[in-house]
Structure 1
Amino acid sequence: MLRRTTRLGLLAALSLGLPLLAGPAWAGGNGRSVQDPPPASPSASGVEQSPVVGVPVLTAAQQRETARKDAEVARAFGQTGPNARSLAAVDDEPDLPSHKSLKSVKQKAQSRTYWCGPATLATLVQVDGTKISQTTAAKRLKTTRNGTNWYSGAGNYPMEKALEHYGDDVEYAAANLPYSPSKSDKETYKKRLVTDIAVHKQGIAGNAVEVTNGPHLNGHPNRTIYHWVAVRGYDDDGETTRYADPVSGSGISWQGPVDRYNEIDSDKIVTIFGARGYIW
């Protein structure tokens, strides 16, 4: 497995307007098929760069919230994993379904090249009937021409705060991932995914870092891309992730092959979230 040291900080985004390149080469596994890390400084504005201010950390309160949510996940899985899917300890719900989607979460095409974050927020808040414009979402997220920050320093994950602002007493948590997520990272994500969708009826905001010759989201060209997507469901007991991609229908030059709604191997999407993470 290729190894690299995670670089956190401002990373360069894709350059729009280039022709569609051949699909990325990825044969699975634990890491990414790249020789070098993505560039460490931005090369353009007006494209998503998912900036990171400082080194992402969780405050003591955020750590407690993560622990509380993970305890709910453990109860949902009977503390033994997907093969014991009893929800007896969680509101007497029926067994976890092997597949489920949040059908009220409808894809929103991003209005600007660097508004995948606002589009993702506007998509996910629909789960409880909330409707906001991408302009409102961008203001809440403090999105700039460099995109929506994954981390803004001092324990501030803008997407986490925004989802909690619009959620009805729903608590979210930020999950930071290394550049090459481990098997444990992937299994943890799958259990959180199933619990969030099937039990809590809430989606997940994923922050993708796609690198040349590494794994990419469905239909994305083989280049470096920073992107936000709205995870809205799962299949195969969490082995498959269902997500809405805001680039579809956006008018961005390479969006043509991208579907509004997609399914992807969960191990693969966790790898793609590496070096950023997800809000769950």
Structure 2
Amino acid sequence: MTRLRDITLDTAAKERRIVLDDPGAFEPQPGFPSYSYLANNHVAQAYNNYCGPATAKMTLGHQGYNLSQASLATRFGITPGNGGTSWDAMLRTLKAYTGGNYAGTFLAYSPSARDKAEYKAHLRIDIARYSDSIAGNVLEPKGSRIRLAGHPINQTIYHWVNIRGYKNSGNDSQVQDPATSVWPGVKANSPVPSDNLVIMMGGRGYQW
């Protein structure tokens, strides 16, 4: 089980690697484009509980891997209709295929302004500088109006999504939602205000 201390150290280690490679990476600078997108490689989740395998397939697809949801589900220890993808299983898998390049950032249930700013910095760096997409772990409480397009408001939803781009200098994130096979109103790709996305990832986080 990954502890909060482990997640914090993991993120700090990746940030140190980035700064060593590019000392100005986290500074506001005109060198970052105002928008940047990786390939649209959306896949719908094969089963109601396969948002994790579908998200991992899209995330690793941007690294050149063509993995099946079935093989990823086996790695995650889930079967059709049984179990969900844990934080640990997702991060271990992303690290295993990318040589340890992925790190996890945990967010408090009520993310701060700093949390939002750091997410946008990570987003710009990953997408524009390194061509890495992000796996986002979303929590949408029942009744909350801040949720992904097409997600029903009358239930609490725990969900993985792929984040493959941004616009407005990171203020809007481009989300690939694998739940197109679960709810009819879900969009395969949609821009989501980054501040809202960070709120939805509160209490969970993202892997970048």
Task: Report the TM-score when normalising by structure 1.
Answer: 0.67
Amino acid aligned to 1:96: F
Q: Does 1:231 pair with 2:166? A: no
2:74 is aligned to: 139
1:1-280 to 2 correspondence within 5 Å?
Answer: 56-58=4-6, 62=10, 64-69=12-17, 71=19, 75-77=24-26, 79=27, 81=28, 84-85=29-30, 95-103=31-39, 105-143=40-78, 145-150=82-87, 157-167=88-98, 169=99, 171-214=101-144, 215-222=146-153, 223-248=155-180, 250=181, 252=182, 255-280=183-208
Kindly tell me: are residues 257 and 99 of structure 1, through their superposed partners in 2, closer, same or farther at Cα, counting changes over 3 Å?
same
List alignment gaps of at least 5 residues for structure 1: 1-52, 86-94, 151-156
Deviation above 4 Å: which 4+ runs of structure 1? none
- Which string of whole-angstrom CA distances, capped at 9 and with x for unpartnered residues, describes residues 203-258 of structure 1? 0000000002221112211121000000000000000000100001x1x2xx1111
Cα separation, 2, equivalents of 1:54 and 1:126 = 25
Identity between Structure 1 and Structure 2 (%): 35
Kindly tell me: are residues 57 and 139 of structure 1, through their superposed partners in 2, closer, same or farther at Cα, counting changes over 3 Å?
farther
**How many pairs are equivalent?**
203
Structure 1 residue 108 displacement after superposition: 1.0
List alignment gaps of at least 5 residues for structure 2: none
Task: Report the TM-score when normalising by structure 2.
Answer: 0.89
Q: Is the 8 A contact 1:70 1:192 kept in 2?
A: no
Structure 1 residue 70 displacement after superposition: 5.9
Amino acid aligned to 1:99: Y
- Which string of whole-angstrom CA distances, capped at 9 and with x for unpartnered residues, describes residues 18-55 of structure 1? xxxxxxxxxxxxxxxxxxxxxxxxxxxxxxxxxxx585
Bigger Rg, which one: 1
Higher helix share: 2
- Which string of whole-angstrom CA distances, capped at 9 and with x for unpartnered residues, describes residues 173-208 of structure 1? 100011110010000000100100000100000000
Higher strand share: 2
Amino acid aligned to 2:14: T
- Which string of whole-angstrom CA distances, capped at 9 and with x for unpartnered residues, describes residues 38-78 of structure 1? xxxxxxxxxxxxxxx5854316862552342563686224x
Kindly tell me: are residues 256 and 97 of structure 1, through their superposed partners in 2, closer, same or farther at Cα, counting changes over 3 Å?
same
Kindly tell me: are residues 69 and 219 of structure 1, through their superposed partners in 2, closer, same or farther at Cα, counting changes over 3 Å?
farther
Q: Is the 8 A contact 1:234 1:241 kept in 2?
A: yes
Cα separation, 2, equivalents of 1:73 and 1:61 = 20
